[in-house]
Amino acid sequence: MPNNTRTRLIAGNWKMNKNYTEGVQLAQDLANELGHDTHGVEVVVCPPATDLKGVSGVIEFDRAPFGLGAQNVYWEASGAFTGELSCDMLKSVGCTHCIVGHSERRDYFGETDGDINLKVKALLAAGIVPISCCGESLEVREAGNQVDFVVGQIRADFDGVELESGDQLVVAYEPIWAIGTGKTATPEDAQEVCGAIRAALVDIFGADIASQIRVLYGGSAKPGNVAGFLAEEDVDGALVGGASLVAADFAAMVERAAE
Ligand SMILES: O=C[C@H](O)COP(=O)(O)O
């Protein structure tokens, strides 16, 4: 278990996988694998928008021990924004968390730090916990600029953001070169950047709040390597892509986090 007071968090990002029927099935399989006790580890799954209501039903009726997160949100409350979802819509289907700033949204859909800043503020105002992603490209890492780059993202994404407590926000460090590639950062690589993220959070929010914000590692995390990341002082969990699509693997990661 961690030597700090932060509750470990294992979050699954299903990305654009699993239709409604498959998503409900995966949630039920995960509920069966986990049983009713996650031994002090918080678990969240983030299915595609079309699956949210169905997975919410599994959480409610099967008493599944995980929370529900969306993968995206728009900051306006309502109106003519075709294709977008508001915070209120996410809340109405039971979302407690929402991923923002994933590198896939930044790279493929042109999301900027300014967009992410507005999304973080809208989610906080709605009482939804943002899982705010950051991470450097291979080019940035090879130039040795990963810490400066990620701290710059954090400062821009949280500019003007105010928190009352550290459990309102989660940060996920995901080096882009490690996402879905099978190449993982080493635990030491993760700690270098997650430690710098924590220091930046202290600067932005103050030491008390920053000490309670969970910082996750993401990028080819799986049952066989997650314990190494969790052993690092500033890594409080994982944001899991591919391995979250296999109930037994994701449950095994939760088990590792409980050890
Ligand atoms: O949000 C999750 C990350 O992009 C990691 O994905 P991955 O575990 O498939 O590498």
Q: Give the tens place of pLDDT for each residue, 17-72.
A: 999 999 999 999 999 999 988 999 999 999 999 999 999 999 998 889 999 999 99
pLDDT at 40: 95
| Active-site choice (102, 136, 192, 255) | 102
- ipTM value: 0.99
Distance CA 223, CA 128 (A): 28
Query: Rounded mean pLDDT of the chain?
Result: 96
Look at ligand 1, atom 6, and give the residue with the nearest C-alpha.
241
Q: Which of 3 and 255 is assigned the larger pLDDT?
A: 255
pLDDT at 214: 98
2 has pLDDT over 70: no
Distance CA 127, CA 14 (A): 23
pLDDT at 232: 97
Burial 86-103 (b: 16+ CB within 10 A, else e): bbebbbebebebbbbbbb
1 has pLDDT over 80: no
Spatial CA neighbour of 14 closest among 258, 257, 250: 250
Among 220, 245, 250, say which to mutate for ligand 1: greatest number of ligand atoms within 8 Å of CB.
220
Distance CA 46, CA 49 (A): 9
189 has pLDDT over 80: yes
Which positions ≥6 away from 25 have C-beta within 8 Å? none
Q: What pTM value is reported for the model?
A: 0.97
97 is catalytic: no
pLDDT at 206: 97
| Pocket of ligand 1 contains residue 179 by CB under 6 Å | yes
pLDDT above 70 covers a percentage of the chain that reads 99
Alpha helices in the chain (DSSP H): 20-34, 52-61, 87-92, 103-109, 113-126, 138-142, 146-157, 187-205, 207-210, 226-230, 247-258
Please tell me what DSSP assigns to residue 8: P
| Pocket of ligand 1 contains residue 124 by CB under 6 Å | no
H-helix or E-strand containing 172? strand 170-173
102 is catalytic: yes
pLDDT at 256: 97
- List of domains in the chain: 9-258 (3.20.20.70)
241 is known to lie in a ligand binding site: yes
Distance of CA 139 to the CA centre of its chain: 24
pLDDT at 184: 79
